[in-house]
């Protein structure tokens, strides 16, 4: 097995390159993704390699980008759209939720719409308004969309290829604060299925669940908790819709305690859904209420206050302590 150390941004770039080389129906679309290589340089070099007919710089019009991608998918292409920042996705929200998500159902399965929408999301980068939000719940709520978020470079490399290969529309949420963190990428390994959650650290007393950038925080929490004598199991969701509950249920049956962490606000969220489902399906295994640690139910604050808004190691550890105190 060949392994390389790559930052997540480069891992996604390599995944896109492989998908484009394997299938000439794969087309990239987005604002400044061609000559510039995107704001985060995720598509850097791909226009030079594959040409301007396959790496398209679009107008500043998210609705137009998604609408064009839907038309291309109907003609047999596999378009990959980039939304420059997550806060800019809402001009295309109607196209995504009212059209793209429903068209296969409307055609009774006779027409597929293999559109991938790449969405850099989340905080920890000190950016301005509309540049650090976590809107994944809107799309996880919408039937007909697949929603995933890699937390590691290896997952980013493989999952972008899996998303492009899917015949269903996929919202691919990329935790932008992890773009520059390097991790091992297995070029010729066997990828984990795109919608499978994964135990990344085993433990016996508390289960921690999160996705995207939260995984790095949860691993830090597990280190601190272990130094204090608490054994923590960490699960990376990887897929937000559908959610693979199997590993979570098995873990909770073992630990009896569950803490869910997310950057998004807690009200009517992915964490809320997981908490409700585990309470329904593993009630007699729980020794304490399911606890959630999230962003607050406010608009994302100015950059200087993001440290107070986003869940950190201390807030998650406090939830672990509360859970074990029941």
- CATH numbers and ranges of domains, the chain: 3-186 (3.40.50.970), 198-325 (3.40.50.920)
CB 291 within 8 A of CB 322: yes
Give me the residues of the chain with pLDDT under 70, please: 1
What is the per-residue DSSP string for 260-293?
EEEEEESTTSHHHHHHHHHHHHSGGG-SS--EEE
Closest CA to 150 of 64, 253, 42, 74: 42
pLDDT of residue 208: 98
For 118, the enclosing helix (H) or strand (E) is strand 116-121
pLDDT of residue 127: 87
pLDDT of residue 1: 64
pLDDT in tens, 112-134: 999 999 999 999 888 888 898 99
211 carries an active-site annotation:
no
CB 121 within 8 A of CB 136: yes
DSSP β-bridge partners for residue 172: 118, 148
pLDDT of residue 22: 97
pLDDT of residue 133: 94
* pTM beyond 0.85, yes or no: yes
Catalytic residue among 131, 195, 211, 257: 131
CB 232 within 8 A of CB 257: no
pLDDT of residue 192: 95
Closest CA to 231 of 214, 207, 251: 207
């Amino acid at each position: 097995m060949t392994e390389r150390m790559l930052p997540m941004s480069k891992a996604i770039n390599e995944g896109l390159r492989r998908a484009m080389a394997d299938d000439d129906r794969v087309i990239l679309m987005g604002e400044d993704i061609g000559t510039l290589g995107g704001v985060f340089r995720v598509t850097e070099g791909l226009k030079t390699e594959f040409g301007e007919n396959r790496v398209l710089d679009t107008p500043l019009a998210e609705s137009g980008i998604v609408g064009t991608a839907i038309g291309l998918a109907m003609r047999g292409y596999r378009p990959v759209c980039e939304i420059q920042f997550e806060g800019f996705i809402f001009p295309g929200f109607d196209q995504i939720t009212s059209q793209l998500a429903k068209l296969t159902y409307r055609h009774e399965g006779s027409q597929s719409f293999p559109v991938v929408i790449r969405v850099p999301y989340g905080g920890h980068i000190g950016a301005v308004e509309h540049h650090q939000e976590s809107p994944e719940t809107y799309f996880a709520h919408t039937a007909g969309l697949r929603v995933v978020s890699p937390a590691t470079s290896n997952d980013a490399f493989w999952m972008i290829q899996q998303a492009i290969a899917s015949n269903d529309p996929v919202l691919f949420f990329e935790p932008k604060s992890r773009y520059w963190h390097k991790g091992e990428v297995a070029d010729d390994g066997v990828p984990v299925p795109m919608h499978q959650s994964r135990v990344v650290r085993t433990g016996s007393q508390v289960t921690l669940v999160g996705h995207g950038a939260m995984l790095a925080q949860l691993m830090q929490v597990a280190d601190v908790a272990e130094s204090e004598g608490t054994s923590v199991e960490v699960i990376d969701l990887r897929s937000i819709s559908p959610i693979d509950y199997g590993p979570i249920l098995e873990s909770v049956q073992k630990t009896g305690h569950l803490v869910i962490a997310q950057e998004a606000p807690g009200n009517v969220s992915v964490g809320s859904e997981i908490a409700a489902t585990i309470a329904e399906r593993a009630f007699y295994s729980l020794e304490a209420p399911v606890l959630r640690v999230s962003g607050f139910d406010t608009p994302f604050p100015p950059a200087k206050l993001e440290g107070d808004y986003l869940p950190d190691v201390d807030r998650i550890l406090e939830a672990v302590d509360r859970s074990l105190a029941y």
